[in-house]
Structure 1
Amino acid sequence: MPDSYAERVSFRMAPLWSLGMLLAGLFLLQTDGVHADGEEPLGSPFLQRSVREAIEQVDKAYKETRANQKERLSKRSLRSSDLLRFFKHPMAETRIAVRSAEYMESTLRLIQHHVHRVHKRSLNASDLLTPSDLNTIAEVTGCRAIRQPPICKDDCWSNRYRTFTAVCNNRMHPRLGSSNTALTRWLPARYEDGISLPLGWTPGKRVSRYTLPLVRAVSNKILKTSNENVPLDLETTNLFMQWGQWIDHDMSLSDVRVNEQLGVLTFHTVFLREHNRLTRELKRLNPHWSGDTTYLEARKILGAFQQIINHRDYLPLVIGPAATAKYLPAYKGYDESVNPSIANVFSTAVFRFGHLSIQPKLFRFGANYQEHPQFKNMDLHQTFFSPWRLIREGGVDPIMRGLLGKPSKLQTQNKMLPDELREKLFKLTAHLAMDLGSLNLQRSRDHGIPGYNAWRRFCGLSQPKNAYHLFQVLKNRLLTRKLMALYRTPDNIDVWMGGISEPFVKGGKVGPLFACLMGQQFKNLRDGDRFWWENKDIFTVRQRSALAEISMSRIICDNTGIQFLPRDAFKFETFPRGYVNCNQIPKVDLRAWKEDVQVTPCGSIPVVDHGHFSICKSSVRYTCESGFKLVGGDTLTCLSNGQWNIAPPGCEEPQSIGSQVAQNGIGGPTGNCSQPIPVSLSAPKKSAFSAQLNRWEFAMSYPSKSQADLES
């Protein structure tokens, strides 16, 4: 979720102004017919009225926004801003957290406004309140409940699998790195009003003595590149670019963006197939496993695959060998003092470096790695939110061959962002499209990200003060002149703009600034992850040895009809040179996951009719087949005397039950599935966009509930 003010202020333990200092000058103005004749502490009626007024304002804004959106939807008169709001609309629990944050931020704004009217000075609301006041506001608005640390289990099974939300990964700080928590900040935020107003929001207001340029002006004058004759990076494949987006979505968006474009949809499809392939193999090796155990083990292995491919094969090509050696040396073990949370600057700027390596076309190749005779290459904007093409136009294989057999776009200082991404991003109609470059620049300002030089200082790099110094960094006179003409000072350059302008580090695809920030982020993700694949408590020595054989090429071989491909899927080769048959690419030996159920200190593990079991150290946990009820204790423990601590449980005969719908339970899905509804592969009567618009309208109507909640 976006970094809310509620999260930012909650860690401020020592406000600059004490409550006592305020009592001498703060008088309540007439509010709702109430007038204060004397001093009143901030902590009682004043706070209550502020919170109540803030909730009313936010609820009114939601209601008016919903009405406006419904009107524009009915008239099909959407604007680009509506489209962006639709794509970014939070879902489920995130929606509740965002609304609570808005309640708290609005409360603090009202307090700041009232105090400003009395003192005639600009003061941050968080500097005016004690920690007790802030906690009171957080509790009333709902922010405190969202940030309440959960109780973490500490048994063999909870130490084996990470939770779906990453809660309790760090047992000292259970919410570190989990979903629905704020992005972390490595530098203090910079907002125009000290709260949330982006720099450059107020026309004419100066930052470091100069006004900030409009982001669209920066895009037009620096980023603009035609779709034709884009420079090619003959070192990396188009799949190298696509992996970056896959990892970015994995850390921030997950499955909700699966249909964004056909390349990322192809990745989702292939990795879903790989998960299912793993479950089939694991179930064959361990027929006593339940569906939940099989699913969780496959999920755990697939997570390790991604960690290995990303850190071993992808990142060294991006940040270069020097930064890799500095930030990602040999793994030394889990460090619970490391915060694995995604940094604000990484999410909003650094990892968006890959946008400059996107080709303006989607390539679809046949078996000979030439344009498919039936399914032609297409402009990128034709692939946005069009999953039907994957079903009706050849499946994943032509797209995957296009990713493997075509180089990525080369990031250069004079040809940055093709018009396909600047003029036609998410284009759905003739008048609905966005500019990816402008979005990246404005996003950093919305998040209060400090400027270019602040981050150069953070990384121990020089901070250019004028055009001459900036040229010494960028080594490009024309680009330096353009940047200085727009920003007037290097201090004001947006960090994404500055980062993508730097020449590459040796052996990498980013400049020194992004190599530093990216290296630090991925180091934190590795060292602060209790379930990192190299942690000796997560996989056995034999399993880690087997996992090390994985490659992206092997995953493609096992889940597509492609037979010939580069041994390293990230490094570009011209077919057929450098291409090998799939039988030459090593496989992961899953026999390392086979459990021996016959040999334990307590003898063979008891088998229960209609039951399943899983082993964790000296304990065995039982579950029953769907529809059967477990009778007795579910966990047996092998004692030091060679005896089981209790008798094994049983599974009762199923009772007569009606049709059930599969439900997501703790640890995995539960329940029986009714017969699937036949799906027609013909062109849908409603477009995918129309269906998403309907879901958007629903979310606007019920911002604090999921659709499943209402249907139930």
Structure 2
Amino acid sequence: MWGRSSAMRMTALLCLLAVVLCDSSEKDELRKVEDDDDGSPVKRHEGDDASRNTRHVFPLSRVDGPTFARGLAYQNPTPSFSGITSFNQHFNRPVVFPPHSPSAHLTSYSPFSATPTILPTSPLQHANSGVSNFLGSNGGYSSRGQATIRQLHPVTTLHNVAPVVGHNRLDFPEAEKTEHHQGVGSSCRGHTTCSPLVSCAACFSELDPYDKCELEDGHFGVCCPPSPSPNAPNRRVFAVPNIFVKTPDISLYQLNEAAKAGLWEVAERDKLEQVLRTQDIVVSNPKSPEYRHLQFFKTSPRAMKFGRAAITVERSTVFLMKKFYLTSLQAGYGLRRFSVRDTILSDTCPEEPYCGEKEEYYRTIDGSCNNIRNPRWGQAKTALNRILPAHYEDGVFEPRGGISGRQLPSARVVSISNVADVDMPDPELTLSVMQMGQFIDHDLTSVPIFRFGNESGIQCCNDGAFVDPSMTHPACFPVEIPTDDPFFSRFGRRCMNFVRSMPTQNENCTFGSAQQMNQITHFLDGSNVYASSVEDERSIRAGRGGLLNVQGPALLPADPSASENSCDALNRGFDCFLAGDNRVNEQPDLAVIHTIFMREHNRLALQLAKINPQWDDETLYQEARRINVAQMQHIIYNEWLPIILGKDCMVNNLMLPRPDGFSRDYDPNVNAAIRNEFAAAAFRFGHTLVQGMFQLFGKNHQPTEKVQLHEHFNSPHLLYTPGKLDEFLRGLAKQPIQKFDNFVTEDLTNRLFQGMNNPFGMDLVALNIQRGRDHGIPPYNALREACGLPRARSFEDLLDVMPGPVVQRLSGVYDSVDDIDLFIAGIAERPVPGAVLGPTFKCIVADQFMRLRRGDRFFYEHGGLPNSFTEAQLREIKQTSWARIMCDNGDHIKAVQPLAMRLPGKLNMKVPCDSASIPKLDLTPWISVPY
């Protein structure tokens, strides 16, 4: 019996070995053969791997072999981090930055001191060593090489904050997989039918080659697994922080006295601004990164008006705090029971918008009237909401400080001590994931910063040094650069310009802590395509046929307000573009995706006009906009968000689109407004995914050109070259993103908004950290606890979700575990299995997208509402995919993989655009159905 069993085992092992060898040879062959746009195979030369960018050994920063600049190196060994590295990508040679040495970085004018970056003398145990009882043993790893984390416990107690209603589940057990094992070309078993791959995009990681089947046109499809059911469905989101603090009675006379004090302080600020402008202490050098950075933060006149009113109330609140000796909690939250509407500042409170019959069926351009009961929820120029109460130093508006009362370490010191430029390409995901994320962000958030009354920029640094305190604008919050900075010290820079975000009145127009403004709509409504104000919308509409303006054959219109100072493309003889969002020109791939969705709108409008010739311009425009936004939402929730959060999180939080039919998820009690923790920290995770070098591909999918990111900020000139837009699109579907980690390209950490002929830029990681402090974002430990992780009592407690070397570096720059900034810790967490994000960022992002689905009356899947699609229309919208949008709106895109956010592979092979594998939207259900 034993001998027979051994023989059977040996036979099985030999069979398995044969399969593995066969599979390996097939993979090698796949790497050598790629399809042309028309599907014909193209042989690649062994030595012509344009994606590889070899480097020399780095003795000071690498201990395991060659290192690669964060850009085009595929399939490289995973590096182990030691010290600080970056690269000079102009010359493709390594530039070694030694580990940051301890120093106290002070200037005679700077109030910001940096904590010495001394690493702890006692070694910390590695994150995977199982030191935490929370994790138990270190367990296994997911297919993406991520440590498995056990399901987290629900939140039980929060200190000094409103409780979290329900619990955003951070990890969920893997759903039991149903075996299909269908042969290629065969029909599917059970009740499933052969479907396009996009029909089960969220389940892609559970599919195998045996799930492949043949569609009616002969191209491949898949046998989708049964629709997953939630293990423990969660319909709840974080409760709004609502702190009740006893405060003394304050009379109307005393409130008006405070209001007068606030008005006086704002008038004094006006006088200071006049002096600063007279002495030319403004950001005026158009070649400087500060000037170019300010162009990214357009502040509309209306936003400036709201900001002025809010700062008046903020100064009035500080007056009351001092007069009545209030605690920071009493001032920030206790004073909210006193309305500004009762005072002499009543005219600064915004009016309620009018909601008529049209608003029942179509979105307003500024987001108002989405919620009929609360018409200002989600409206442009309203405040960001919060998950946890603000952590301002004074409880009202001063940036967050250290838990001990000391200054937090310089944001630049935190950046250079924890973030390096190391190439870690993702083995599964394409650059489309990063670019779609930025496009989504620009649809959801745009926080303005303070400016002078004439809209010129506030200068906090003078030629790299701090401005004299007597001439420093109150909105200045500059980042201190250490004297021994590994990059900026070469150029004598000690100060990085940083201007604070502009607040707006809170929802109820009361006294209390400041809340930052979102000057665009808070919804996933395509505001980056269609704008967030009537004036901006008017400038991008053609006024005929429901179309958006274009220039030339089908490029975005030229921006008539652009100057050579704000648009580098003009210095090269080309115009910058105009779109619904002013950040369209930041970098070429962003302009590409803007162009694609503009073209999709016009394609829809032209087709609708053919089948409904009686429709006027307004009806065609609104219907095309409505369909286009619905397609965006479907792509986000069907393809993009399951990659970011993982399928299990999507299923258990009821966010996956239904296979068919409507959802009944709309809840008028859910406010979809963007959370501050999401905008200022968690949704900036995409900065770690950015490639420093974009690879373009020609019609035969061979590399044609490499585009260095920092050389193309504010300059979309390449898109004017015929065929170049398609080359960028192929790069989006072919080049991988960087992995989610604490490695960020030097193009963002040293060369952000680096101008032409300028040797340096700014540091986006440092700016992110500083922005979080500016907004009063609570420290990482508070959000970690709110999301269900145990509160860290020491740095060692962070090992449950972070690697040991990362924890060691954090302990070297922060005095306390309660000081750690949310952004820097969030990108340091290990990704949750099946997701891109770690547990804390996943929790925050999931909460926001639950709100954006359930709190948006116009969300495409909602049924039973006056604005709902018909069932036939909804069925067609659910056919859409990012691949189909690319196919329909590129110039000459002939083939792409069905899931264009995933790299091509056996189940995701490139197919012709006219294939049933990439379904098309049929507009027949829209014949003669105007509202």
TM-score (norm 1): 0.72
Q: Which residue of 2 aligns with 1:554?
A: 884
Q: Which residue of 2 aligns with 1:56?
A: 267
The answer to whether the Cα contact below 8 Å between 1:210 and 1:487 also exists between their aligned partners in 2 is no
Tell me how far apart the structure 2 counterparts of residues 562 and 69 of structure 1 sit (CA, whole Å). 51
Q: Which residue of 1 aligns with 2:804?
A: 477
For the pair 1:193 / 2:394, whether they are aligned, the reply is yes
What residue identity is the alignment partner of 1:90?
T
The answer to whether the Cα contact below 8 Å between 1:58 and 1:102 also exists between their aligned partners in 2 is no
For the pair 1:218 / 2:407, whether they are aligned, the reply is no
For the pair 1:435 / 2:636, whether they are aligned, the reply is no
The answer to whether the Cα contact below 8 Å between 1:317 and 1:508 also exists between their aligned partners in 2 is yes
SS in 1 for 2:697: coil
CA gap 1:106/1:563 in 2 versus in 1, 3 angstroms: same
Tell me how far apart the structure 1 counterparts of residues 825 and 630 of structure 2 sit (CA, whole Å). 34
Tell me how far apart the structure 1 counterparts of residues 846 and 334 of structure 2 sit (CA, whole Å). 38
Quote how far apart the aligned CAs of 1:452 are. Answer: 1.0
The answer to whether the Cα contact below 8 Å between 2:887 and 2:893 also exists between their aligned partners in 1 is yes
Equivalent in 346, 352, 355 of residue 149 of structure 1: 352
For the pair 1:411 / 2:740, whether they are aligned, the reply is yes
For the pair 1:356 / 2:722, whether they are aligned, the reply is no
SS in 2 for 1:501: coil
Q: Which residue of 2 aligns with 1:236?
A: 429
1:480-499: per-residue Cα shift (whole Å, max 9, x none)? 11011112332221111111
Q: Which residue of 1 aligns with 2:899?
A: 568
For the pair 1:586 / 2:797, whether they are aligned, the reply is no
For the pair 1:252 / 2:445, whether they are aligned, the reply is yes
Query: How many corresponding residue pairs?
Result: 546
Q: Which residue of 2 aligns with 1:668?
A: none
Tell me how far apart the structure 1 counterparts of residues 807 and 259 of structure 2 sit (CA, whole Å). 53
What residue identity is the alignment partner of 1:322?
D
Q: Which residue of 1 aligns with 2:345?
A: 140
What residue identity is the alignment partner of 2:739?
L
Instruction: Name stretches of at least 5 consecutive residues in structure 2 with no aligned partner.
Output: 1-239, 447-527, 529-580
Equivalent in 224, 246, 262 of residue 16 of structure 1: 246
Tell me how far apart the structure 1 counterparts of residues 805 and 315 of structure 2 sit (CA, whole Å). 44
Quote how far apart the aligned CAs of 1:218 are. Answer: 1.1
Q: Relative contact order (alpha carbons < 8 A, sep ≥ 6): 1 or 2 greater?
A: 2
Equivalent in 490, 510, 518 of residue 837 of structure 2: 510
The answer to whether the Cα contact below 8 Å between 1:13 and 1:131 also exists between their aligned partners in 2 is no
What residue identity is the alignment partner of 1:446?
D
Q: Which residue of 2 aligns with 1:521?
A: 848
Q: Which residue of 1 aligns with 2:309?
A: 100
For the pair 1:498 / 2:831, whether they are aligned, the reply is no
Q: Which residue of 2 aligns with 1:692?
A: none
Q: Which residue of 1 aligns with 2:707?
A: 378
Equivalent in 796, 799, 803 of residue 468 of structure 1: 796
The answer to whether the Cα contact below 8 Å between 2:435 and 2:589 also exists between their aligned partners in 1 is yes
Which stretches of structure 1, 4 residues or more, deviate above 4 A after TM superposition?
Answer: 10-15, 64-72, 77-83, 119-133, 208-211, 574-577
1:464-519: per-residue Cα shift (whole Å, max 9, x none)? 21132111221x21111101111233222111111111111111101111111111
CA gap 1:336/1:55 in 2 versus in 1, 3 angstroms: same
Q: Percent identity, please.
A: 33
1:369-396: per-residue Cα shift (whole Å, max 9, x none)? 2222xxx212101121002221147441
For the pair 1:180 / 2:180, whether they are aligned, the reply is no
Q: Which residue of 2 aligns with 1:170?
A: 371
SS in 1 for 2:302: helix
SS in 2 for 1:583: coil
Q: Which residue of 2 aligns with 1:651?
A: none
Q: Which residue of 2 aligns with 1:291?
A: 617
Tell me how far apart the structure 1 counterparts of residues 671 and 272 of structure 2 sit (CA, whole Å). 35
The answer to whether the Cα contact below 8 Å between 1:15 and 1:130 also exists between their aligned partners in 2 is no
Quote how far apart the aligned CAs of 1:327 are. Answer: 2.0
The answer to whether the Cα contact below 8 Å between 1:169 and 1:531 also exists between their aligned partners in 2 is yes
User: For structure 1, which segment, 103-112 or 507-516, has the greater mean C-alpha deviation from structure 2 after superposition?
Assistant: 103-112
Quote how far apart the aligned CAs of 1:532 are. Answer: 0.8
Quote how far apart the aligned CAs of 1:405 are. Answer: 1.2
SS in 2 for 1:179: coil
For the pair 1:337 / 2:664, whether they are aligned, the reply is no
Quote how far apart the aligned CAs of 1:78 are. Answer: 6.8
Q: Which residue of 1 aligns with 2:731?
A: 402
The answer to whether the Cα contact below 8 Å between 2:241 and 2:386 also exists between their aligned partners in 1 is no
Quote how far apart the aligned CAs of 1:274 are. Answer: 0.5
User: For structure 1, which segment, 575-584 or 318-327, has the greater mean C-alpha deviation from structure 2 after superposition?
Assistant: 575-584
SS in 1 for 2:389: coil
CA gap 1:135/1:274 in 2 versus in 1, 3 angstroms: same
What residue identity is the alignment partner of 1:553?
A
SS in 1 for 2:785: helix
Quote how far apart the aligned CAs of 1:130 are. Answer: 7.8
CA gap 1:102/1:313 in 2 versus in 1, 3 angstroms: same
SS in 1 for 2:755: strand
RMSD (CA atoms): 2.7
Tell me how far apart the structure 2 counterparts of residues 357 and 13 of structure 1 sit (CA, whole Å). 37
The answer to whether the Cα contact below 8 Å between 1:54 and 1:110 also exists between their aligned partners in 2 is no
1:10-36: per-residue Cα shift (whole Å, max 9, x none)? 99896632336xx9xxxxxxxxxxxxx
The answer to whether the Cα contact below 8 Å between 2:696 and 2:731 also exists between their aligned partners in 1 is yes
Instruction: Name stretches of at least 5 consecutive residues in structure 1 with no aligned partner.
Output: 1-9, 24-39, 201-205, 597-614, 617-712
The answer to whether the Cα contact below 8 Å between 1:499 and 1:511 also exists between their aligned partners in 2 is yes
SS in 1 for 2:852: helix
Quote how far apart the aligned CAs of 1:211 are. Answer: 4.7
Equivalent in 303, 308, 320 of residue 646 of structure 2: 320
What residue identity is the alignment partner of 1:455?
L
What residue identity is the alignment partner of 2:771?
R
The answer to whether the Cα contact below 8 Å between 1:335 and 1:528 also exists between their aligned partners in 2 is yes
The answer to whether the Cα contact below 8 Å between 1:124 and 1:195 also exists between their aligned partners in 2 is no
SS in 2 for 1:236: strand
SS in 2 for 1:377: strand
Tell me how far apart the structure 1 counterparts of residues 908 and 258 of structure 2 sit (CA, whole Å). 71
Quote how far apart the aligned CAs of 1:353 are. Answer: 0.7
CA gap 1:490/1:172 in 2 versus in 1, 3 angstroms: same
What residue identity is the alignment partner of 1:427?
Q
Tell me how far apart the structure 2 counterparts of residues 363 and 393 of structure 1 sit (CA, whole Å). 17
Tell me how far apart the structure 2 counterparts of residues 128 and 337 of structure 1 sit (CA, whole Å). 24
The answer to whether the Cα contact below 8 Å between 2:340 and 2:346 also exists between their aligned partners in 1 is no
Quote how far apart the aligned CAs of 1:83 are. Answer: 4.2
SS in 2 for 1:427: coil
Tell me how far apart the structure 1 counterparts of residues 332 and 254 of structure 2 sit (CA, whole Å). 12
The answer to whether the Cα contact below 8 Å between 1:405 and 1:574 also exists between their aligned partners in 2 is no
1:345-372: per-residue Cα shift (whole Å, max 9, x none)? 0011111111101000122111122222
Within a 5 Å distance, the mapping from 1:673-692 to structure 2 comes to none
SS in 2 for 1:369: coil
SS in 1 for 2:427: strand
What residue identity is the alignment partner of 2:684?
R
TM-score (norm 2): 0.56
Tell me how far apart the structure 2 counterparts of residues 458 and 120 of structure 1 sit (CA, whole Å). 27
Tell me how far apart the structure 2 counterparts of residues 266 and 309 of structure 1 sit (CA, whole Å). 17
What residue identity is the alignment partner of 1:341?
A
The answer to whether the Cα contact below 8 Å between 1:381 and 1:420 also exists between their aligned partners in 2 is yes
CA gap 1:141/1:41 in 2 versus in 1, 3 angstroms: closer
Tell me how far apart the structure 1 counterparts of residues 326 and 389 of structure 2 sit (CA, whole Å). 25
What residue identity is the alignment partner of 1:391?
Y
SS in 1 for 2:623: helix
1:56-103: per-residue Cα shift (whole Å, max 9, x none)? 124334434555668652xx3775545434432411422221222122
Quote how far apart the aligned CAs of 1:151 are. Answer: 2.6
User: For structure 1, which segment, 275-284 or 506-515, has the greater mean C-alpha deviation from structure 2 after superposition?
Assistant: 506-515
Tell me how far apart the structure 2 counterparts of residues 397 and 575 of structure 1 sit (CA, whole Å). 24
